[in-house]
Amino acid sequence: MVLVGVAVLVLLVALLGRGGSTKQLERRLDRMERKLDLLMHHLDVPQPGPTGPDLAVDQDVVNLARSGRKIEAIKRYRELTGAGLKEAKDAVERIQ
């Protein structure tokens, strides 16, 4: 697991060193997260943090989602769980 974290950190540093716009970096990071998620799934490595719709969600996330502040709810969910963007988006949409 530590090896995966180190690999992601090295890739982030390499991306930042290449320059480019913020949007480009965000798109590349999203692609890397998807690839890493697929690799972890293929290797049967458990995802960090709580996952699944039946686990309790932080009340901050629930309040943000139900008040229509979806993006903030997704950000907060990711901060709390370490989940990827898609997983966090799906979790917040289940709340609404």
Residues 6+ apart with CB under 8 A from 47: 37, 40, 83, 87
Q: Determine contact, residues 57/24, Cβ cutoff 8 Å.
A: no
Res 29: pLDDT: 84
Q: Tens digits of per-residue pLDDT, 66-85?
A: 999 999 999 999 988 888 99
| Domains of the chain by residue range | 1-46, 50-96
Q: Tens digits of per-residue pLDDT, 8-58?
A: 777 666 666 665 677 888 888 888 888 888 888 888 877 665 444 434 568
